Amino acid sequence: MSDAYILGIESSCDETAAAVVRSGEKIVSNVVFSQIATHQPYGGVVPELASREHLKAIVPVVRKALADAGQTYQSVDAFAVTQGPGLAGALLVGISYAKALAFALDKPLIAVNHLEGHIHAVLLEERQKGNREIHFPLLALVVSGGHTHLYLAEQRGEGWSYDNIGHTRDDAAGEAFDKVAKLLGLGYPGGPIIDKLSTYGDSAAVKFPPSQIKHRDRREKSVRSEATDRPRFDFSYSGIKTAVLRYVETHGLQPSIEARRKALAGITKPKVEDYLARCDPRTLDLVASFQRAMVEDLMGKALAAARAYNAATLFVTGGVAANNELRQRFEQEAAMEGLPVYFPSQPLSTDNAAMIAAAAYPKFVVKDFAPADFSAEAGMALR
């Protein structure tokens, strides 16, 4: 089959993104317009504002992705767009635009699950490096602001099939980073700043009980799915957020947090030094201990699942996979178990459209095109 150039569009949350990928294995262009500045004052993504920002950005972002790739609307072979999961109003902007392009240019349109996109971000970059030795069954930990899922993936012809063997019962891991950062007056999004500040604190200073899920089987060694009787590896991160809050209250950190929040709000793009100048050692220890607890929990569960299901490969992907300590710990521990572990590069860990164009390629090959009446699916599952 000759090369296929797919233009991918992603608008599920707070990034408007477009990219051109060749045959699922080469990023030809990759443009991401982040709305962080819009949502920052609110300490989280405001859905209505996200839709409005996507509407403003979508045409210039797509034009830039085509120009950077030396392609045109006419020259690409197909369009791909995120169908879900995500914010319905945000998804609809990308979907409407992609539908209009496919209709006007009479080209195929492929609907992609955002979570499958995160998994294919890893595959895309491995292929780009020339690695074709990915073995199945493959375990994928998708860990982002909206999701914390474990999928067991198998290859089925050109495409993949997915079995969810774990998910969060409350907050997603990235959400916990964001909420703890907000609680400590560190701004939004929380993950990148907690990542940076953690190196300045003592990660053993504050002990968090292992974030066990509040589940009636919690005392049993492994939890099994009632439907399939297979082991499940669920997560729970609302408890650790409450534990941080309790620490703040019992140690009287509130006044310094308020002072920090006010001071940082007055700086347009605060640098690490700006945060460090406003964080006492106790806060830095708390931040480092929180990150350590999150990383150990994610890693412990992912590796236990890999053992239980005899996974041949581990993928760790999604925004939180950008975390430096998480990467190091997974690499160390997986190496000890002889399990190959792969991450996307940091730019491809967070939301982007290259992963959408890459995940669309196997569907393009088998002509699995979206029907004309498809719509956004905010709670779309991956199978």
User: Where does this chain bind ligand KG4 (CB under 6 A)?
Assistant: 13, 144-146, 174, 177-178, 189-192, 195, 318-320, 322-323, 350-351
- Partner from ligand KG4, Zn ion, none binding residue 201, C-beta < 5-8 Å depending on class: none
- Partner from ligand KG4, Zn ion, none binding residue 94, C-beta < 5-8 Å depending on class: none
Pair of tokens at residue 288 = 């480092």
Q: How many residues bind Zn ion (CB under 5 A)?
A: 2
Q: How far is the CB of 236 from Zn ion (least distance, A)?
A: 20
Q: Are strands 78-84 and 109-113 parallel, antiparallel or unpaired?
A: parallel
The SS3 call for residue 22 is strand
8 Å CB contact between 383 and 84: no
Looking at the Cβ atoms of 5 and 290, the one nearer to ligand KG4 is 290
- The reply on whether position 351 binds Zn ion by CB under 5 A is yes
Q: How far is the CB of 146 from Zn ion (least distance, A)?
A: 7
Q: How far is the CB of 108 from ligand KG4 (least distance, A)?
A: 26
- Partner from Zn ion, ligand KG4, none binding residue 322, C-beta < 5-8 Å depending on class: ligand KG4
8 Å CB contact between 344 and 316: no
Looking at the Cβ atoms of 15 and 297, the one nearer to Zn ion is 15
Looking at the Cβ atoms of 178 and 351, the one nearer to Zn ion is 351
Q: How far is the CB of 125 from ligand KG4 (least distance, A)?
A: 15
Beta-ladder partners of 162: 153
Specify the amino acid at residue 355. Answer: M
* Those residues with Cβ within 8 angstroms of residue 310's Cβ, 6 or more apart along the chain or in another chain: 137
Looking at the Cβ atoms of 201 and 318, the one nearer to ligand KG4 is 318
Pair of tokens at residue 160 = 């993949």
Q: How far is the CB of 324 from ligand KG4 (least distance, A)?
A: 7
* Conformational region of residue 189, where left means phi above 0, alpha means psi within -120 to 50, and beta covers everything else: beta
Q: How far is the CB of 95 from ligand KG4 (least distance, A)?
A: 17
**How far apart, in whole angstroms, are the C-alpha atoms of residue 65 and residue 18?**
6
8 Å CB contact between 128 and 25: yes
**How far apart, in whole angstroms, are the C-alpha atoms of residue 315 and residue 121?**
10
Looking at the Cβ atoms of 297 and 351, the one nearer to Zn ion is 351
Q: How far is the CB of 190 from ligand KG4 (least distance, A)?
A: 5
- Partner from Zn ion, ligand KG4, none binding residue 166, C-beta < 5-8 Å depending on class: none
Looking at the Cβ atoms of 102 and 121, the one nearer to ligand KG4 is 121
Q: How far is the CB of 174 from ligand KG4 (least distance, A)?
A: 3
Query: Could you tell me the sign of the dihedral formed by the alpha carbons of 274, 203, 236, 308, in that order?
Result: positive
- Partner from Zn ion, ligand KG4, none binding residue 189, C-beta < 5-8 Å depending on class: ligand KG4
- The reply on whether position 144 binds Zn ion by CB under 5 A is yes
The region of 29-37, 53-61, 345-353, 357-365 touching Zn ion under the rule CB under 5 A is: 345-353
Closest to 79 measured CA to CA, from 10, 28, 158: 10
* Those residues with Cβ within 8 angstroms of residue 203's Cβ, 6 or more apart along the chain or in another chain: 285, 288, 289, 291, 292
Cis peptide preceding 270, ω within 30 of 0? no
Residues binding Zn ion (CB under 5 A) = 144, 351
